[in-house]
Amino acid sequence: MGMIGATVWDIASAGAAQKEGRKVVIYQDSMHPWVKSDHPGKCTICGMDLTPIYEGEKPFGGNDNIMVLSSNNITVLNVQTESVKRQSLFRTSRVAGTLEANENRKAIVAAPAPGRIQSMADAYVGAEVEEGQPLITLFSPELLQKRLYFRPKTANQLGSTNDLAQSTRSDPFSNDLVAPQSGVVVERKAYIGQYVTEGDQLLTIVDESTLWFRFDLYEHQLPWFEIGQSIDLVVPAIPGKVFPAIVSFIEPTLDAVTRTVKVRADINNPVVTVNGHRQRLLKLGMYAEGRVRADIPDVLAVPRTAILFPGGSAYAYVDKGGGAYERRRVELGRQGDELWEVLSGLDEGDRVVKSGNVLMDAQAQFEQGNGSDTDGGSDAVDRAETIAAMAKVAPTAIDPVDPPGPKNLTPA
């Protein structure tokens, strides 16, 4: 045993003697190889003593995706970080469309039997009519025969507004066609002296008290819309006023050509008085723009500025401590106004770089291209200062808000 101990001591002494004449290149931590120093000390992460690396020795290996910055680099690049956490994801979407008639409030006045139009009320296109108002006087002997077969059950029902053809004249063959509902005449196909057949459409009446706001949604916008959602509408023809609307229907079929889905929202159309005349404020066919704010609670999210898109893939720089930052690929979900939903690649509590990452990535590409490692020397500082100066005229991170292809009338 004495001989073995002496041998080990001799080997250690020989190694120490061999290193005495060699120069220490750098001090490095074996567990955190990116922690380096030019003088003895402790690891800033785990507190262990740094190991000296002598000339001719290979330093501890590290992750190729790890980038190490000195304090000067961090200051020059203005590196700022933020924790990855679960939070609400907000998104404001803007859509554009037109105001259309509510098809559930549309009625047609048709000829109940063959005949001839004897007279008409002022039922021109755009005219306001009231429910039960006589609109057309129709001369039709056949209508009298039909009325004999379809008599009301009680005498109280005679002459009710539900009976669209009322005989109110002494001539039994002349009948008045009345308005089935109140509204505006939007289509007219009847004129005095015209002969009609049974079923001919004479007038179309629309109740404009409620209109439809119809617009298109692209596929990437669909996750942010649902039935019952509120929309704030603005109409260029009526500046300074916001109209509330409610999403009432989302079509189940996607248009194969435009890759869009039709959506409609209900909007109330108030009555206003102009020069002593009452009229509806909104008109059919008006152009309108909508603003929708959606909220998706409790999702893992990071600031949008923390995500870079080199080569079309999403990456983020994660702070590992001690001036080391790991370039990590991530999978993204929905995009909010200020946040990205993270599906994989990051964990809750990780700290991601939200400012300075564009310059960090540029510096990393520069160093990889030159085959040099980052040792925190003055050359790295000079490069960082050069990149920072270039950043004043260079574009920022690529942020693909919308996929390639045709754009909506207004960007989301």
Q: Are residues 199 and 216 in the same domain?
A: no
Q: Are residues 259 and 315 in the same domain?
A: no
Buried b (16+ CB within 10 A) or exposed e, 39-70: eeeebeeeeeebeebeeeeeebebeeebbbbb
Q: State how far the Cα of 176 lies from the Cα of 164, in Å rounded to an integer.
A: 8
One-letter amino acid for residue 389 of the chain: A
Q: Are residues 244 and 164 in the same domain?
A: no
Q: Are residues 97 and 239 in the same domain?
A: yes
- Is 66 a domain residue? no
Q: State how far the Cα of 164 lies from the Cα of 150, in Å rounded to an integer.
A: 13
Q: Are residues 272 and 333 in the same domain?
A: no
- How many domains, the chain? 4
- Is 402 a domain residue? no
Is the model's pTM score more than 0.75?
no
Smallest CA-to-CA distance from 352 within 297, 314, 402 is with: 314
> Where residue 65 falls among pLDDT bands split at 50, 70, 90?
confident
What pLDDT shows up at residue 310? 86
What is the average per-residue pLDDT within 147-163? 45
Q: Are residues 302 and 337 in the same domain?
A: yes
| Percent of the chain residues topping a pLDDT of 90 | 48
DSSP 8-state secondary structure symbol assigned to residue 42: B
Q: Which of 36-40, 221-225, 346-350, 389-393 has the lowest mean pLDDT?
A: 389-393
Q: Are residues 225 and 163 in the same domain?
A: no
What is the average per-residue pLDDT within 389-401? 43
More confident residue, 223 or 96: 96
- Is 376 a domain residue? yes
- Is 114 a domain residue? yes
What pLDDT shows up at residue 278? 82
Q: Are residues 199 and 242 in the same domain?
A: no
Instruction: Assess whether pLDDT exceeds 70 at residue 123.
Output: yes
Q: Are residues 97 and 231 in the same domain?
A: yes
Q: State how far the Cα of 98 lies from the Cα of 212, in Å rounded to an integer.
A: 8
What pLDDT shows up at residue 106? 93
What pLDDT shows up at residue 390? 47
Instruction: Assess whether pLDDT exceeds 70 at residue 58.
Output: no
> Where residue 401 falls among pLDDT bands split at 50, 70, 90?
very low
More confident residue, 267 or 399: 267
Instruction: Assess whether pLDDT exceeds 60 at residue 237.
Output: yes
Using the 3D structure, point to which of 184, 206, 228 is the last residue of a domain: 206
- Is 279 a domain residue? yes
Instruction: Assess whether pLDDT exceeds 70 at residue 376.
Output: no
- Is 404 a domain residue? no
Q: Are residues 217 and 147 in the same domain?
A: no
- Is 406 a domain residue? no
Q: Are residues 361 and 340 in the same domain?
A: yes
Instruction: Assess whether pLDDT exceeds 80 at residue 240.
Output: yes
CATH code at 169?
2.40.50.100
Q: Are residues 97 and 216 in the same domain?
A: yes
Instruction: Assess whether pLDDT exceeds 50 at residue 266.
Output: yes
Using the 3D structure, point to which of 206, 223, 239 is the last residue of a domain: 206
Instruction: Assess whether pLDDT exceeds 80 at residue 328.
Output: yes
Buried b (16+ CB within 10 A) or exposed e, 218-241: beebeebbeeebebebebeebeee
Instruction: Assess whether pLDDT exceeds 90 at residue 321.
Output: no
CATH code at 282?
2.40.30.170
User: Per-residue pLDDT tens for 167-196?
Assistant: 555 567 888 899 999 999 999 999 999 999
What pLDDT shows up at residue 63? 55
What pLDDT shows up at residue 173? 82
Burial class (CB in 10 A: 0-12, 13-18, 19+), 313: exposed
| Percent of the chain residues topping a pLDDT of 70 | 72
User: Per-residue pLDDT tens for 1-41?
Assistant: 444 444 434 444 444 444 555 777 677 665 666 666 777 87
What is the average per-residue pLDDT within 105-109? 93
What pLDDT shows up at residue 99? 96
- Is 248 a domain residue? yes
> Where residue 152 falls among pLDDT bands split at 50, 70, 90?
very low
Q: What mean pLDDT value characterizes the chain?
A: 79
Instruction: Assess whether pLDDT exceeds 90 at residue 47.
Output: no
State the residue for tokens 């045993």: 1
Residue ranges making up the domain that contains 161: 106-206
